Amino acid sequence: MKKILSILMGLTVTSSAALTVVSCEVPVHKVPIKFDGDFVPNEGNWSEYNDADRVKAFQGNFLGDKSVAFDNTIARLRNLLSLTPAFINDKNRFSQYNELLIGADADDESKTAAVHGIYRWEKTQGEKPLDFYNKFKKTNISSIGGLYWLHKVKREDLTADAAKAAWDLAEKAFGTPDSAGADFVKNFLGLDSNLQDSSWTEQHISKTDNPKISLMDSKVVEFTSKVEGESAEINEPVSETLKEFEDVNTGIDYKEKIEKVGQDKSKPFNQFIFGGKLPTTHVKVIEKPTIEKPAEANPKDVQVDWIIIEKSTEKKEDKTIHKWNPKDGQFFLGDETSITINYKFTTDSKNEQAEKYNVKTTFSGMKPVFRPIIKEANLKAKDGSTTKTYFAKWTFVGYQFNDQHNFIKDGNKDIKPGQGLFSNIKLTELNITKA
C-alpha cells in the first residue's frame, strides 16, 4: 500500500505536543528536542542539564507557569515544513490553512498565497500552477510540499520575486536527480510506494548555528499602594533602579529552589530568548483615560519599552475600589532573528537499517514578543502595616514571524488567534544530506 507522509497534528494555535504521525497504520513518534553546544556560560553547568532541563531553560517558568511558547514554536515550524498536499487535500481544510498561514501578499491581491505554498489541482483551485505561484511576490514558501510543486514550474516563466527565490532554494535542495535531496523528497511526499513509516526522529538546535541567543533576567520594577480606609495613594515606582525578583518577593520559600535556568524560583523570568534585543523594564503611571479626559497621544517621558500603568477608581457597594493595570494592547517586539533547526529523518522507523537523512533548515523573520504584567509581591510584613508592594515586568509570551502584533488576538475581531503569525517567515536554508 502506498504510504503518504503527513503531519496529523495540524498547525493550530493551541497545539503543543511534538508528535509526527504517518498515515494508514497511524503510528505515533515523539520527536525530541536536543541542544548541541554550551548555552550556559554564566549560569551553572550546562553539561548537568538533561534534555528536559534544556527545554525548560528556553520555556521560562514564572511562578510555576507551564508556558510552552518555545515548544509550540518548534512544533509549528516542523509542522509547517512538513505540510503535504495529501494532508490539506480537503477543500475546507485547505481554506482554513490558507487563512491561518496567510502570507505577506494578502493585503495586495491574493489571500491564497499562503506560506505553505501548496498547489491543489486546477479543477479545485480554479487556476493553473504558474498563475498561482506568480502571486508569491512577497510571500515566502516554507514547506517542502510547496517547494516541490513550485519546482515543477519553469523558472523562466516565474515573474514573482519570492517565488523565484523559493524556486532557487528548491533547486539547490533537491533539484539534482538521484541526489540525497531528490531521494529524500521522493520518500517524504509518499512518491515511493516501497518505503513505509517514514518519520522525523530528532530535532537539534546548535549554539554554533544560533549564536544570537540572550538570557533574560529576573529584575523587576517595584511600586507601592498605600491603603488607608477607603482612600488609597497609588505611587510612582519606589525606584527606577531595577530590583531582583527575590528582593521584592521576600515571602517566597527559596530553600528548595533548583538553580537551573527556567526552574529557579528566585529567578523565575530567567530563560533563553532567540534575539539580541530584550526590553528593560521601566514604568510610567498615568490616570486611566475616560470620555471626559482622553488619553494623551504620546505620554511624556515614555520610551518604546516602558510599561504604561493606568490607575483608576470605581464605586462598588458604597466602597471605593482602586485599580491599576497595564494599558491594554501593550507589547514589545524584539529584534528580528533567525532560527536554525537540524532534523533527523528515517525512511522507516521500524527498520534500523533504513535510509536516514539530515535536514538542516533556517527560518528567518522571527521576533520574540513580550507583554507586561503587574503582580502583588509576596512580601512578609514585619510591622503589620497595610502598605502593599507590587512589581511590574515585561514577560516573554512567544515568537512570531510578523512585524505586527497579531500573535495574540487583543480584541481585534478581524483577526483570528494565530492568523498572520507566519506572514513574514522565510525558509532561507534547506540542506539535505544522507546520514
The domains of the chain are located at: 19-208+336-366+417-434, 213-335+370-400
Q: Model-level pTM?
A: 0.86
The tens digit of pLDDT for each residue in 195-244 reads 567 889 999 999 999 999 999 999 998 877 655 444 555 555 555 668 99
Which of 314-323, 348-357, 425-434 has the lowest average pLDDT?
314-323
Find how far residue 348's CA is from the centre of its chain.
30
Question: What does pLDDT average to over the chain?
Answer: 79
Find how far residue 270's CA is from the centre of its chain.
17
Asked whether residue 23 carries a pLDDT value surpassing 50, the answer given is no
Which of 55-64, 272-281, 335-344, 426-435 has the lowest average pLDDT?
55-64
Do 372 and 395 contact (CB within 8 A), yes or no? yes
Which of 56-65, 250-259, 404-413, 420-429 has the lowest average pLDDT?
404-413
Query: Which residue would you say has higher pLDDT here, 160 or 98?
Result: 160
Spatial distance between the Cα atoms of 329 and 408, rounded to a whole number of angstroms: 10
Q: What is the pLDDT of residue 300?
A: 58
Q: Which of 182, 186, 128, 185 is nearest to 158 (CA)?
A: 128
Q: What is the pLDDT of residue 66?
A: 56
The CA dihedral of 16, 149, 173, 160, to the nearest 10 degrees, is: -100
Query: What is the number of alpha carbons within 13 Å of residue 231 lying toward its C-beta?
Result: 1
Asked whether residue 265 carries a pLDDT value surpassing 60, the answer given is yes
What the block records as the C-alpha cell of 336 is 528580528
Asked whether residue 156 carries a pLDDT value surpassing 80, the answer given is yes
Asked whether residue 290 carries a pLDDT value surpassing 80, the answer given is no
What the block records as the C-alpha cell of 226 is 498605600
| b/e code 403-433 from CB counts within 10 Å (16+ = b) | eebbbbeeeeeebeebbbbbbbbbbbbbebe
Q: What band does 63 get if pLDDT is binned at 50, 70 and 90? A: low
